[in-house]
Amino acid sequence: MSLFGQVHVKNKKYKIKGDFHHLTPNMPIRNADDGWKLMGVTNPRDMTYIHMYGGEAPFFEALGEGKLLATRCDNPDCEFKGTVYQPFRIHCADCLGRNTVIDMTENAKTTATVHTFMVCERSGAFNVLDKPIKFINIEFEGVDTILMSYLSIGEPEIGMKVVPIFRTKNPTYTILDLSWVPAGTKAEDLPEGFSL
């Protein structure tokens, strides 16, 4: 039995275990309209990548702990000092100074509003969200940018007040650990694994 590829880092080196690729035989592609002559072959490929979050790692770790982190430029020499970034941005877009990490969970719980939205009936391969997917773009008081995420309960509307929910049980450590529900939603109504 194969083992999913697993990685940890020790002494700044990747330590890998398990299978990072799976072999599937290729198949011929033939022309049914012309005597089944050969036209090509399939090229199967199933491979696991090793992807590092770098300076964004605290953001993805915090989601599983029920916290929404953002960043702020505190460089006194920056023309745009005080800019707050959500999506979490490691460096200020203007001065390129290292931003300060801030916890904006409470801000999100009280000021998050749907800026725009859409309801997606289709998806690409490897999608794991239930369809229809309700994309929402969320604005917050005091935040200069507009976060893209998804609504787990209810029908989205522009101007709707929403609150963050976090996949604190079996987190995936991806952006999918963060979702949103209409303000006032009760904890018992949340999707499996999520908490307010």
Partner 1 sequence: MIKFSEQQLKIPRLMKPVYLVTAGQSKFGRAIPEKRTEELCVDALTMAADMINMSPAELKKYIHSCYYGHFADHFGDQLLGEAVIHDRLGLDPLGNIGIKTGGATGGSTLWEAVKAVASGYSDCVLAMGWERMDEVPTDEGNFLISCAADKDWESPLGHIYTGYYAVMAQKYWQVFGKSEDSFRKTLAEISVKHHGYARMNPFAQSPMKITVDDVLNSPVVAFPLRVLDCCLMSVGAACAIICDEDTAMKLTKDSPHKPLRIWVGAGSHTLRPADRRDMDIPLLPNETADQYKDLGKRFPGGDRYPGFTGFLGARIAAYYGYGMAGVKDPNEDLDVLELHDAFTISDVQTYEDIGVRPYGEGRDYVESGDCYHTNPNTGKPGRLPSNISGGLIGCMHAVGATGIMQTFEVAMHIWNRWAEIHGDDKRWKEFSREKPEDWTDLQVKGAKRGMAISHAGVGSHVTSTILMDPDHLLKKDA
Residue 175, helix vs strand vs coil: helix
- Which C-beta is closer to partner 1: that of 9 or that of 120? 120
Residue of the chain from 149, 160, 162, 194 that contacts partner 1 (CB under 8 A): 149
Min separation Cβ 131 and partner 1, Å: 8
Min separation Cβ 163 and partner 1, Å: 19
Residue of the chain from 4, 8, 35, 43 that contacts partner 1 (CB under 8 A): 43
Interaction of residue 6 with partner 1, rule CB under 8 A: no
Min separation Cβ 172 and partner 1, Å: 9
Whether residue 87 contacts residue 145, with contact meaning beta carbons closer than 8 Å, is answered with yes
DSSP E strands: which ranges in 54-146?
A: 69-72, 84-85, 100-103, 113-120, 133-139
> Whose structure tokens read 């979050």?
53
Residues composing the chain: 196
Name the segment binding partner 1 (CB under 8 A); options: 12-20, 43-51, 104-112, 162-170.
43-51
67-126 residues near partner 1, rule: CB under 8 A = 79-80, 83, 85-87, 89, 93-94, 115-126
CA distance 109 to 33: 61
Whether residue 114 contacts residue 156, with contact meaning beta carbons closer than 8 Å, is answered with yes
Using alpha carbons, list the distances in angstroms from residue 187 to 94, 102, 166, 169: 40, 25, 11, 14
Which residues lie near partner 1 (CB under 8 A)?
29, 31, 39-40, 43, 45, 51, 53, 56, 60, 79-80, 83, 85-87, 89, 93-94, 115-129, 132-133, 135, 137, 144-150, 158, 174-176
